[in-house]
Amino acid sequence: TNRTFTMIKPDAVENGHIGAILEKITAAGFKIVAMKYTQLSRRDAEEFYAIHSERPFFGELVEFMTRGPIVAAILEKDNAVEDFRALIGATNPEEAAEGTIRKLFATSIGENAVHGSDSDENAAIEGAFHFSGREVF
Ligand code: GTP
Ligand code: MG
């Protein structure tokens, strides 16, 4: 479909990159249809990242994602999920292509500046996790 879900993660917020990241997103043709500045509770983060609960970095991931505010947003564009994953680049910023958001703003594989949904199904689940119908325009 034409929507994806993103978060600007705590590292990028702390480092003052909210504006620059939103500029990259809109310049790439994504329309922001929902957005909020919020902070995940431990329970939120454990639920959001439940798929990774058996991975060795899960504790670190939950600590990181809850340590400060994030920007959560739903984005609209043709081919949104795939195009947004291309815009953010590889999980590990050392492997991310030049010009991608993670290449520009991420510091490590764990603290990698942004999230992007990995499927249409997850985009819908993740968007609904953060936004009610009245918050999507
Ligand atoms: P998201 O868009 O955030 O879902 O990233 P991704 O789809 O590129 O990666 P994946 O879903 O595999 O991992 C989710 C998140 O877990 C990553 O974005 C990282 O923040 C974190 N993560 C993944 N691998 C590692 C790792 O080896 N070490 C640490 N500390 N964190 C990791
Ligand atoms: Mg992922």
Domain architecture of the chain: domains with CATH: 3-135 (3.30.70.141)
pLDDT in the model for residue 125: 97
Q: 11 pLDDT exceeds 90?
A: yes
Ligand 1 atom closest to the CA of 90, numbered from 1: 8
Q: How many CB atoms lie within 10 A of CB 11?
A: 22
Q: 1 pLDDT exceeds 80?
A: no
- Ligand 1, CB within 6 Å, residue ranges: 52, 57, 60-61, 91, 109-110, 112, 115-116, 118
- Beta-bridged to residue 38, according to DSSP, are 70
Mean pLDDT computed over 116-129: 97
The reply, when asked if residue 36 is annotated as ligand binding, is no
Q: Please give the mean pLDDT across all residues of the chain.
A: 97
**Measured distance between the N- and C-terminal CA atoms of the chain, rounded to whole angstroms:** 16
pLDDT in the model for residue 13: 98
The reply, when asked if residue 67 is annotated as ligand binding, is no
Amino acid at 51: I
pLDDT in the model for residue 131: 98
Q: 33 pLDDT exceeds 80?
A: yes
User: Which burial class, exposed, middle or buried, applies to 6 when counting CB atoms under 10 A from its CB (0-12, 13-18, 19+)?
Assistant: buried
pLDDT digits (tens, 9 = 90+) for 77-120: 999 999 999 999 999 999 999 999 999 999 999 999 999 999 99
Of 22, 3, 4, whose CA–CA distance to 13 is shortest?
22
pLDDT in the model for residue 101: 98
Q: What is the pTM of this model?
A: 0.97
| ipTM at complex level | 0.95
The answer to whether 38 and 111 are in contact (CB under 8 A) is no
Q: Is 52 known to be catalytic?
A: no
Work out the pLDDT band at 27, boundaries 50, 70, 90: very high
Work out the pLDDT band at 70, boundaries 50, 70, 90: very high
pLDDT in the model for residue 68: 98
CA quadruple 83, 102, 108, 98: dihedral positive or negative?
positive
pLDDT in the model for residue 108: 97
Q: Alpha-carbon distance 122 to 48, whole Å?
A: 10
